[in-house]
Amino acid sequence: MLDETIITKAIIESYTQDLINNLHTDVIIAGAGPAGLVASKFLADAGLKTIIFERKLSIGGGMLGGGMMFNKIVVQTEAKRILDIYDIKLKEIEKGYFVADAIESVGKLTAGAIDAGVKIFNLISVEDVKIDGDFRITGAVINWTAVGMAKLHVDPLTFESRCVIDATGHDLEVVNVALRKIPNSKIDTPTGEIMGELSMNAEIGEKILLETTKEVYPGLYVAGMAANACSGGQRMGPIFGGMLLSGEKVANLIINKFKR
């Protein structure tokens, strides 16, 4: 006879334990799109305790929808080696253009992160940052996505980390809230402010992404589409190589910083 209360206890205890085990980490990533997922695996592979908070029920962000719901993605030669790490099947349709299945890609990027030791919490949104006395960012303030959707007045909870990555895509949510709430704050962009993304140019957008991926404020990094949205980079449509390379780059920046 199956006892429903034992099932309930298993779920409550196990989930609560996961939350408590991850109250203090090296890196908190907001957003489980391709950039956040790749960053998380590389960080965890380097021995850094890494968690992701993902707003939605699903993992994968914009990668799941491919281009205009044709669930295929394209990557260029420079990024092929990253998909190879995950054993994602690729077909070269023209020299230098590789096409992959979006669902397979998200599935394997997610499995790669989890196997490396990353803990992913879905259905939770990062709604604010934690700051220390010098206004350095030292964690994330989180709440159930459903609380925000229902506009309920429920106070959030706080998780601490050595740094935070904003991998929230076009909306650049974490940098936006930090700039709004930290007095007189400037970020590391040409204007010191959020510059917003520019219209489509895949060639420039993909290239510039590796420059815009960086620590923009003490303790706060940007990766993926959020990086171009922060520094005024072009959008690039459903070519995903830049997102993967940006995830790798932000991980390396953090790994090198923490090694010092």
* Contact positions vs ligand 48H (CB under 6 A): 30-36, 53-56, 61-63, 125-126, 167-171, 173, 200, 224-226, 235-237, 240, 243
The nearest distance, CB 231 to ligand 48H, in angstroms, is 13
Length of the chain: 260
The nearest distance, CB 163 to ligand 48H, in angstroms, is 16
- Phi, psi angles (nearest 5°) of residue 60: 120, -15
In the chain the first and final C-alpha atoms are separated, in Å, by: 56
How far is CA 27 from each of CA 21, 50, 98, 117, 119, rounded to the nearest angstrom?
A: 14, 5, 31, 13, 11
The nearest distance, CB 173 to ligand 48H, in angstroms, is 4
Which lies closer to ligand 48H via its Cβ, residue 202 or residue 255? 202
Minimal CA–CA distance to 37: which of 21, 65, 61? 61
* CB count in 10 Å sphere of residue 189: 17
Which lies closer to ligand 48H via its Cβ, residue 118 or residue 226? 226
Query: 41: Cβ–Cβ under 8 A, 6 or more apart, which residues?
Result: 109, 112, 113, 116, 118, 251
The nearest distance, CB 256 to ligand 48H, in angstroms, is 21
Minimal CA–CA distance to 119: which of 90, 161, 69? 161
Which lies closer to ligand 48H via its Cβ, residue 148 or residue 218? 148
The nearest distance, CB 87 to ligand 48H, in angstroms, is 20
Which lies closer to ligand 48H via its Cβ, residue 13 or residue 18? 18
Which lies closer to ligand 48H via its Cβ, residue 187 or residue 250? 250
Which lies closer to ligand 48H via its Cβ, residue 101 or residue 171? 171
Strand 24-30 with 157-166, pairing: parallel
The nearest distance, CB 242 to ligand 48H, in angstroms, is 7
* CB count in 10 Å sphere of residue 10: 10
Which lies closer to ligand 48H via its Cβ, residue 139 or residue 169? 169
What is the rounded radius of gyration, in angstroms, for the C-alpha atoms of the chain?
Answer: 18
The nearest distance, CB 224 to ligand 48H, in angstroms, is 2
- In the DSSP assignment, the letter for residue 121 is E
Query: 6: Cβ–Cβ under 8 A, 6 or more apart, which residues?
Result: none
